Amino acid sequence: MTPASEPRWLTEAEQDAWYAWRRMFPLVNAEIARDLSQDSGLSEADYDVLSVLGSTEGHRMRISALAELMRWSRSRLSHQLTRMEQRGIVRREEVATDGRGAEVVLTETGVAAITDAAPLHVESVRRHLIDILTPAQLQALAEVGEVLRHRFGAARKGRD
């Protein structure tokens, strides 16, 4: 906070890490997103929502619970659900116990979508990331992720 007269610019090694960081995520994610879209007609956001709902009993969940589990803002989830609802892969339902509340439910189309998409998606993730890296590199990624998660106080470890 003191107006540093000399900012601590990055060393070369730090720059390498920073540039790698900036580049690799868009690079890999764009490939995986492209595959997902072509193979299954889904966006990554669609897939994330579907995969969570696909593994709950009744294929349904309270909207606020879903948002919290995914660490999405309510607003973001609401917009996303609106788009997904228009395409018929999820449906909103009022909940009896709380006049304000609502649930999302997978439609049959939605169940089929995630069932069909999952194997292809795994292959894509392998092809563009997992199978490219050595076990040591994968472990390093997991470790860095762990450090950062702690740093940012994102407690939960569960699945996506």
Binding site for DNA (CB under 7 A): 30, 34, 43-46, 62-65, 67, 72-83, 92, 95, 98-103
> What is the smallest separation between the CB atom of 16 and a copy of itself, expressed in angstroms?
4
Helices (H) and strands (E) in the chain, counts: 6, 3
Strand partners, 91: 105
Question: Would you say 105 or 111 has its CB closer to a copy of itself?
Answer: 111
Residue 156 touches which of DNA, a copy of itself, none (CB < 5 to 8 A by kind)?
none
Question: Would you say 11 or 86 has its CB closer to DNA?
Answer: 86
Burial of 104 (0-12, 13-18, 19+ CB in 10 A): buried
What is the full DSSP assignment across 19-40? HHHHHHHHHHHHHHHHHHHHHH
Residue 51 touches which of DNA, a copy of itself, none (CB < 5 to 8 A by kind)?
none
Token look-up 């069909």 returns 116
Under the binding rule (CB under 8 A), the answer on residue 112 touching a copy of itself is no
